[in-house]
Structure 1
Amino acid sequence: MFRNVARPVLAIFPLLMAIVLVLVSGEPWLLIMGVVSVCAFDAWRIGFIGAIFVTMLFALAHFPPAHLMTEGDLSPAVQTALFGGAALVIFTVIRCAMIFPSKADDRMRFAAAIVDNMPAMGWSLNGKGEYTYTNKAVQNYVTGNERQADLDDWKNAIPLVHPADVEQTFGRLVECLASGEDFVTDCRIQGHDGSYRWFRAVARAARGAKGDITGWYGTSVDIHEQKLVEEALRESERELRQLVDAIPALIWCATPEGEPFYANKQVKAFAGIAIGDLEVPNKTRLREALDVTVHPDDRIRVGDAMMRSFSTGTSFAEIYRLRRHDGMFRWVDSRLAPQCDDTGKIIRWYGVLIDIDESKQAEEALRASERQLQLLVDTVPVMVWCASASGEPTYINRRLNDYAGIRAEKVDQARFDRNQQIDRLIHPDDRERFRRALVESFALGRPFTLRYRHMRHDGHYRWADSRSEPLRDGDGRLLQWYTVITDIDDETRMQEELRSAHERLASASKAASLSELTASIAHEVNQPLASIVASSQACEHWLKADPPNITRAIANVGRITRDANLAADIIRRIRVLFFRTSETRTPVSINELVLDVCRLMENELAVNAIQIRTGPDDGLPSVIGDRIQLQQVLVNLIRNGIDAMERMPPEERVLEIGSRLIAGNRISVEVRDQGSGMEDPHMIFEAFYSTKANGKGIGLAICRSIIEAHDGEIRAENGENGGAVFTFTLPISNPGQDRRDVA
């Protein structure tokens, strides 16, 4: 009973009891024992020894040894000792009762210490749901100190719970109080600082001997960080799901047994079905998916391979056709792989399908192109073989196989024994030359070109032309060699025959050149001779006049002399042109040359009513050439223009001559008429080709010979507005010379 008495009462209780004994017994020394006991409240041993000492002291004081020896009566002493001993026993019992609690009290204090110091909020309710106890954690969280929280009833805790969690939390508590089921819930509880934290509340009912609920004992564990982590995981899962749904691929998951349980949005968009659509009685979802989506020609193969993967735990990889929502089948690349735990046990399967229909079609097109190329390579009328970077053959086309008599089974042998094939197929006289050139080409990576005699399958050697080119990558590394062999035996024989024919025609060519020379002389000398005849007739006319006009006659004689010299120069230069002999060339001004030719032909131009317009570019550099030959070119071009405009009305007979500097180092001269143009400008410069009724086809051929002999070019074309345009270009005498120097 002393365990439930307050500590101050227990401290003074021995003194009060000593006073009562003093009043009963009349022994004042007992009061001293009570005082000693109070002073030694926390040191029971000291109080016990003090009580014995006081008892002995007063026993000796009342009954000294001398008195006992003289009186011989021990009864008072024994009574005193017994009374003091009894008092001593009473005080000792009281002291032990005060100082030593029971083992049950120790367990209670130990349990209370555990509850108050555990890292969770502990609490208890009676059978009615009223709070009977809250530990220090509750008090610290709710009040911020160890002050007892005002939580008499569970309803008083409602304001502490987050409004969003009140209905779920206390609704469940009411159900558990009524049913006696364990109470478990997660909710947010407000702390003394006003913030909410997540707690997991768990409580269990305590029952009496009859099974009735006597109370509830529960804890509330702080799971705020765990909740934050879970929320972060959920957010991460949502993002991952969004990512999986956004990936341009069909992704699905299956149980360890192979039953699909998840498919991303791309599966629904592609196939038009969801996982729930695969629920068919007496049929697995996987089998239904295979029957509904896989092409009939691929279904058995894909199903067997997938079942084999599920049974063996190996990865699955197949390419097959999958039905799209519109009924069209498209090629997909399907992959399936297992996820295993730490023990190696499969916990789920992950699958992905990638639409490769376009690449499959491109692959088919590439195969078709490859077949077409193979057919082309085998059909092309040349022999083709390929070699590795080291020069070992890797491919021989069908034509080379047929030509050289190489059978398919010997291709590999040829690949590894190139020298044997050279010894067998190349003519002995060309063998070493071929081998040396081929080895050098492969070693240095340079193209290979060689003519040699190659043995045909019938044992005959025929001339062949072989050309090899290396294939390199972007970094210049040699990857492969491509070689083309062309049978040129017939061509070689024809060239030999052609060479003999050329020799036979050499003499005929000389005769033809002599004929051409004769025709050229006749054509070019005709103009000076005509002028000589005209001047002779004029001279005769002036001499027969009465009186004779000697002055005019002498002038005509001078023209006769000039024209005769011109004819001689023409003959000499034609001979130089045809026989390719050297002739001294001098700087010639093109503008002056044009003016001289116009003056020379002014009579002929006037007779044919031709208007001539010149448009020279001032300050043109000079050219190096034969003045007479260049003058002859202009005369021929002007005369062709006169003939072309013969049938034109006189007012439309306009001949234009222009000159200009082009490309910085060449002079262009253009002669344009207003005639009817040319039928074939490309043939106009061929010898003996003429569009005139009485033309010989020599003049323009001579013009081309002269211009080309001067390192120039001449061309003819029809004008945009009609007529013909003749243009020739000549290099200037000094490329560094500009207009200012000439001027």
Structure 2
Amino acid sequence: MFRNVSEPVLAIFPLLMAIVLMLVTGEPWLLIMGVVSVCSFGTRLIGFIATVFVTLLFALAHFPPAHLTTKGDFFPSLQTALFGGAALVIFTMIRYAMLLPTKADDRMRFAAAIVDNMPTMGWSLNSKGEYTYTNQAVQDYVTGNKRRTDLDDWKNAIPLVHPEDVEQTFGRLVECLASGEDFVTDCRIQRHDGSYRWFHAVARAARGAKGDITGWYGTSVDIHEQKLVEQALRESERELRQLVDAIPALIWCATPEGEPSYANKQVTAFAGIVIGDLEVPNKTRLREALELTVHPDDRVRVSDAMMRSFSTGTSFAEIYRLRRHDGVFRWVDSRLAALRDDTGKITRWYGALIDIDESKQAEEALRASERQLQLLVDTVPVMVWCASPSGVPTYTNRRLSDYTGIRVGDFNQAGLELSQPIDLLVHPDDRERFRRALAESFASGKPFTLRYRLKRHDGPYRWTDSRSEPLSDGDGRLLQWYTVITDIEDETRMQEELRSAHEQLASASKAASLSELTASIAHEVNQPLASIVASSQACEHWLKADPPNTKRAMANVGRIVRDANLAADTIRRIRALFQANSEARTLVSIKELVLEVCRLMEDELAANAIQLRTGLDSGLPSVMGHRVQLQQVLVNLIRNGIDAMEQVPPEKRVLEIGSRYDAGNRISVEVRDQGSGMEDPYMIFEAFYSTKRNGKGIGLAICRSIIEAHDGEIRAEKGENGGAVFTFTLPINNPVQGGNGDTSTAGLQ
């Protein structure tokens, strides 16, 4: 409660108490005690307590309790002791009170504690620049708290500052001491371990009532990490600027309003202008830049798009022509995007322009080439269509579209699949064969060739030849299928007519040859037969004579034997016509022979809608024989199969040809049809025996003669499910075991 009482009141109160006590007791030393109490007014509470204590002692001494007054001489001694002790206590308390801190001292010590415990270096100078105080942080940094440094002048601090910062730091300090301005600087100060750290020093002058400088008070804050970050940032900015200048693109920046504010060196090198060149009265820098650099034909479009981006905040992307420093316009791809702060506000625009003139010219050349190629594809005298790797049509040329009346877009819009155009355009008899061949090619990635009937836009089906090839990338992945279709209807008809004429001619030739052969045989055989008849009659005549003329009869018998041998020789010569000279034989691969004959018979098989299936053993060795004669055997057997299936429905017309390694070091070739079969398999090879209506009975007899001439055998059997099976075997000189079967089932190949 006494802390709110003023110091003069507390000082007067003990003095008055001392005077009163002195007058009552006659003790002059009490006045001295009151004066001492007044002297201790700075410690108000202690002085007041001491006065109260002395008063109590006085009252006890002069008005003692009854039990003390009866002691006689003891009371004066007690008074003296009490007053002496009181005086001692008062002096001790006053002395101690002088040592206790006052409120002002508390504030000073509190301020000193704050300054010493600040995480910064605190210091002060007098008006002359002499150090008057340094806090503990200064001592810890400079000496490592080992000893206290004496800095009586700022010049003594020069060795602590980095040599590169001395001139700038202390030059500024001298200026501030003279002018009274605030002292602010960044410098490196040496630490007790010899290293330097960056500090931010700030000092402000303290002024008296008249405005004169009484001292300086400053702090030095450690900003070393911040400086390192700033240096790294400056280095990063420098590298970034170098990078931006080195990027092979035209980089520029603009204000949020769209005014150009920066352009890299590439812009200057390309356009020959800098940002300062765009400062023109009554024009914005952006407008001047557009007028100087953008092609007149593109300027309005680019300006409108750019202004729209600046007003809406959307990105800008345009391709246009930009003027180079030499006046040449080149195509550039220009992009512009906004940089926004955390609130979404645009703080800057960044733009980039890439020179695409070469690629643009290449694109134009490619486009022109595509147009030329399109014209070429549309005008070539074939129909072209393309498909995806899975077989979905992606393109048809104009000739195919005009031919069928259908375009790829018609199928895409209708959501049709590949099977639907097949149903619409391919002849019913060819659809299954077409689907199977197409599916096998798309699955295996192998090209295919197919002949089928395609429906023209006006209704009729016409024969076409279709060939398809896949396009693959470097890794073997299918990218596209390309197919060309050629109308061969007229050619097919001509071939059919030619084949018919050829068959008629061949039939007539066969008949003529047969007639000639018959006449020749009759002529050759007739003479020896007539001679035999005449000799026989003569022999009979001479034997009937009486007596029999055996001599003459025996002579006629000799002539009969001679003429019979002559007839036999004639027959052998005729048979030799179908036998080959062994000197003309060569090695023949049965697999290649069969495939070659299949190719020769391809048109005839297709014309009769016959599916050909082959199962050929690829490991068979070659045989010695006459290639042409063996081809003739296969051709005759295939034609017999075609003729045999004439009355069979098209979907069941299947001709199978197989080869295998047979027992006894022989190769076996089998031709199986699904025709009407045969009645007598054993008579089928006899000359002039035929089961066909117009057959001559010569073909199979010739086949047998050729096979037997090759030391082989030929036979015919009835098929298990109908039809006929013809099998012939040929010997091999170097027997090997049969290799892996190469069995394929396909349409006409």
TM range (shorter): 0.5 to 0.7
* Superposition deviation, residue 407 in structure 1: 6.4
Please tell me whether the aligned partners of residues 430 and 452 of structure 2 are also in contact (alpha carbons under 8 angstroms).
yes
Amino acid at match of 1:402: D
1:114-263 alignment runs, 5 A limit? 114-145=114-145, 147-263=147-263
For residues 204 and 197 of structure 2, what CA distance do their matches in structure 1 show? 23
Please tell me whether the aligned partners of residues 181 and 205 of structure 2 are also in contact (alpha carbons under 8 angstroms).
yes
The reply on whether 1:483 has 2:483 as its aligned counterpart is yes
* Superposition deviation, residue 307 in structure 1: 2.1
* Superposition deviation, residue 211 in structure 1: 2.9
Partner of 2:326: 326
Partner of 2:305: 305
Tell me, what secondary structure is at the counterpart of 1:220?
Answer: strand
* Superposition deviation, residue 98 in structure 1: 2.9
Q: Structure 1 residues 281 and 509, CA, compared in 2 at 3 Å: closer, same or farther?
A: farther
* Superposition deviation, residue 493 in structure 1: 2.0
* Superposition deviation, residue 472 in structure 1: 3.7
* Superposition deviation, residue 374 in structure 1: 1.2
Please tell me whether the aligned partners of residues 467 and 485 of structure 1 are also in contact (alpha carbons under 8 angstroms).
yes
Q: Structure 1 residues 81 and 307, CA, compared in 2 at 3 Å: closer, same or farther?
A: farther
Tell me, what secondary structure is at the counterpart of 2:581?
Answer: coil
For residues 111 and 71 of structure 2, what CA distance do their matches in structure 1 show? 64
Partner of 1:465: 465
Tell me, what secondary structure is at the counterpart of 1:389?
Answer: coil
Tell me, what secondary structure is at the counterpart of 2:464?
Answer: strand
For residues 272 and 363 of structure 1, what CA distance do their matches in structure 2 show? 28
Partner of 2:353: 353
Partner of 1:370: 370
Partner of 1:386: 386
For residues 389 and 437 of structure 1, what CA distance do their matches in structure 2 show? 15
For residues 214 and 127 of structure 2, what CA distance do their matches in structure 1 show? 5
Tell me, what secondary structure is at the counterpart of 2:333?
Answer: strand
For residues 109 and 401 of structure 2, what CA distance do their matches in structure 1 show? 106
Please tell me whether the aligned partners of residues 63 and 77 of structure 1 are also in contact (alpha carbons under 8 angstroms).
no
Q: Identify the range of structure 1 (491-500 vs 370-379) with the bigger mean alpha-carbon deviation.
A: 491-500
Q: TM-score, normalised by structure 2?
A: 0.57
Tell me, what secondary structure is at the counterpart of 2:152?
Answer: coil
Q: Structure 1 residues 414 and 456, CA, compared in 2 at 3 Å: closer, same or farther?
A: farther
Percent identity for Structure 1 against Structure 2: 79
| Structure 1 segments unaligned to the other structure (5+ residues) | 1-23, 31-43, 514-574, 588-623, 626-732, 735-743
* Superposition deviation, residue 95 in structure 1: 4.1
Please tell me whether the aligned partners of residues 468 and 481 of structure 1 are also in contact (alpha carbons under 8 angstroms).
yes
Partner of 1:551: none
Q: Please list the CA deviations of residues 55-109 of structure 1 after superposition, one character each: whole Å capped at 9, or x if unmatched.
A: 79x969x9997894487999x6998599558726742651452353111111111
Q: Structure 1 residues 360 and 104, CA, compared in 2 at 3 Å: closer, same or farther?
A: same
* Superposition deviation, residue 369 in structure 1: 1.7
For residues 371 and 497 of structure 1, what CA distance do their matches in structure 2 show? 42
For residues 50 and 202 of structure 2, what CA distance do their matches in structure 1 show? 51
1:728-743 alignment runs, 5 A limit? none
Amino acid at match of 1:316: F
* Superposition deviation, residue 111 in structure 1: 0.9
Which one scores higher on RCO, CA 8 angstroms, separation ≥ 6?
2
Q: TM-score, normalised by structure 1?
A: 0.58
* Superposition deviation, residue 403 in structure 1: 1.4
Partner of 1:583: 581
For residues 67 and 193 of structure 1, what CA distance do their matches in structure 2 show? 76
1:276-315 alignment runs, 5 A limit? 276-315=276-315
Please tell me whether the aligned partners of residues 396 and 408 of structure 2 are also in contact (alpha carbons under 8 angstroms).
no
Please tell me whether the aligned partners of residues 334 and 353 of structure 1 are also in contact (alpha carbons under 8 angstroms).
yes
Q: Structure 1 residues 181 and 580, CA, compared in 2 at 3 Å: closer, same or farther?
A: farther
* Superposition deviation, residue 153 in structure 1: 2.7
Q: Please list the CA deviations of residues 489-543 of structure 1 after superposition, one character each: whole Å capped at 9, or x if unmatched.
A: 1211222233355457769999xx9xxxxxxxxxxxxxxxxxxxxxxxxxxxxxx
Amino acid at match of 1:122: G
Please tell me whether the aligned partners of residues 57 and 83 of structure 2 are also in contact (alpha carbons under 8 angstroms).
no
1:494-505 alignment runs, 5 A limit? 494-500=494-500, 502=502
Q: Please list the CA deviations of residues 471-491 of structure 1 after superposition, one character each: whole Å capped at 9, or x if unmatched.
A: 344444444332221100121
Please tell me whether the aligned partners of residues 340 and 346 of structure 1 are also in contact (alpha carbons under 8 angstroms).
yes
For residues 111 and 152 of structure 1, what CA distance do their matches in structure 2 show? 22
Q: Structure 1 residues 219 and 377, CA, compared in 2 at 3 Å: closer, same or farther?
A: same
Please tell me whether the aligned partners of residues 320 and 332 of structure 2 are also in contact (alpha carbons under 8 angstroms).
yes
Tell me, what secondary structure is at the counterpart of 1:491?
Answer: helix
1:436-585 alignment runs, 5 A limit? 436-439=436-439, 441-442=441-442, 445-500=445-500, 502=502, 581-585=579-583
Tell me, what secondary structure is at the counterpart of 2:248?
Answer: coil
* Superposition deviation, residue 436 in structure 1: 4.7
For residues 67 and 286 of structure 1, what CA distance do their matches in structure 2 show? 113
- Cα RMSD (Å): 4.9
Amino acid at match of 1:304: D
Please tell me whether the aligned partners of residues 396 and 411 of structure 1 are also in contact (alpha carbons under 8 angstroms).
no
Q: Please list the CA deviations of residues 404-445 of structure 1 after superposition, one character each: whole Å capped at 9, or x if unmatched.
A: 223687353576155554344333443444345445544555
Q: Structure 1 residues 509 and 314, CA, compared in 2 at 3 Å: closer, same or farther?
A: same
Amino acid at match of 1:377: V
Q: Please list the CA deviations of residues 270-318 of structure 1 after superposition, one character each: whole Å capped at 9, or x if unmatched.
A: 2222222222222222222222222222222222222222222222222
Partner of 1:715: none
For residues 437 and 507 of structure 2, what CA distance do their matches in structure 1 show? 41
Q: Please list the CA deviations of residues 186-217 of structure 1 after superposition, one character each: whole Å capped at 9, or x if unmatched.
A: 01223344433221110112222333322211
Q: Structure 1 residues 216 and 377, CA, compared in 2 at 3 Å: closer, same or farther?
A: same
Tell me, what secondary structure is at the counterpart of 2:199?
Answer: strand
Please tell me whether the aligned partners of residues 392 and 415 of structure 1 are also in contact (alpha carbons under 8 angstroms).
no
* Superposition deviation, residue 323 in structure 1: 1.6
Tell me, what secondary structure is at the counterpart of 2:471?
Answer: strand
* Superposition deviation, residue 237 in structure 1: 2.1
Q: Structure 1 residues 411 and 376, CA, compared in 2 at 3 Å: closer, same or farther?
A: farther
For residues 217 and 141 of structure 2, what CA distance do their matches in structure 1 show? 19
Q: Structure 1 residues 419 and 63, CA, compared in 2 at 3 Å: closer, same or farther?
A: closer
Q: Structure 1 residues 139 and 424, CA, compared in 2 at 3 Å: closer, same or farther?
A: closer
Q: Please list the CA deviations of residues 626-669 of structure 1 after superposition, one character each: whole Å capped at 9, or x if unmatched.
A: xxxxxxxxxxxxxxxxxxxxxxxxxxxxxxxxxxxxxxxxxxxx
For residues 114 and 67 of structure 1, what CA distance do their matches in structure 2 show? 57
For residues 404 and 63 of structure 1, what CA distance do their matches in structure 2 show? 147
For residues 451 and 133 of structure 1, what CA distance do their matches in structure 2 show? 111
Please tell me whether the aligned partners of residues 202 and 218 of structure 1 are also in contact (alpha carbons under 8 angstroms).
yes
* Superposition deviation, residue 227 in structure 1: 1.6
Q: Identify the range of structure 1 (199-208 vs 81-90) with the bigger mean alpha-carbon deviation.
A: 81-90
For residues 240 and 282 of structure 1, what CA distance do their matches in structure 2 show? 34
For residues 103 and 228 of structure 2, what CA distance do their matches in structure 1 show? 45
Q: Please list the CA deviations of residues 89-132 of structure 1 after superposition, one character each: whole Å capped at 9, or x if unmatched.
A: 74265145235311111111111111112122111122232222
Please tell me whether the aligned partners of residues 465 and 486 of structure 1 are also in contact (alpha carbons under 8 angstroms).
yes
Q: Structure 1 residues 280 and 581, CA, compared in 2 at 3 Å: closer, same or farther?
A: farther
Q: Structure 1 residues 440 and 380, CA, compared in 2 at 3 Å: closer, same or farther?
A: same
The reply on whether 1:98 has 2:98 as its aligned counterpart is yes
Partner of 1:605: none
Partner of 1:725: none
For residues 361 and 198 of structure 1, what CA distance do their matches in structure 2 show? 58
